[in-house]
């Protein structure tokens, strides 16, 4: 199982992640991305059928703001950094 979260401090609203994984990432009024599964807490298991989209989003983000891990983030996008 995988969990994902957006580091909103480094997201530059480029819009790539929601294009790659529209079932996972959405944007706020300023275009900053968030994980729609859990209000960007990184606590919801990403559905298997969109795992590949999630990895595409990771690769496509120009600022490395997409984080993925096998344990929950509990709101801390930088827990591994
Ligand atoms: Fe932001 Fe990266 Fe998505 S810059 S909009 S998290 S692709």
According to the model, what pLDDT value does residue 6 have? 98
SS3 67: strand
**pTM (2 d.p.):** 0.97
Q: Looking at ligand 1, which residue's alpha carbon is closest to its atom 2? A: 61
Tell how far the Cα of 1 is from the centroid of ligand 1, in angstroms: 22
With a 6 Å cutoff on the Cβ, whether 58 touches ligand 1 is no
Which two tokens mark 78?
């930088």
Tell how far the Cα of 16 is from the centroid of ligand 1, in angstroms: 6
Measure the CA–CA gap between 27 and 56, rounded to whole angstroms: 17
Atom of ligand 1 nearest to the CA of 20: 7
According to the model, what pLDDT value does residue 25 have? 98
C-alpha distances out from residue 3 to 14, 58, 60, 62, Å? 21, 12, 17, 20
According to the model, what pLDDT value does residue 59 have? 98
pLDDT digits (tens, 9 = 90+) for 20-64: 999 999 999 999 999 999 999 999 999 999 999 999 999 999 999
Measure the CA–CA gap between 44 and 27, rounded to whole angstroms: 18
According to the model, what pLDDT value does residue 29 have? 98
């Amino acid at each position: 199982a995988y969990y994902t979260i957006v580091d909103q401090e480094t997201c530059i609203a480029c819009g790539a992640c929601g294009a790659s994984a529209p079932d996972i990432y959405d944007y706020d009024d300023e275009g900053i991305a968030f994980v729609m599964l859990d209000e960007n807490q990184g606590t919801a298991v990403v559905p298997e059928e969109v795992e590949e989209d999630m990895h595409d989003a990771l690769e496509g983000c120009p600022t490395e703001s997409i984080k993925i891990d096998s344990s929950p983030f509990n709101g801390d996008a930088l827990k591994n950094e």
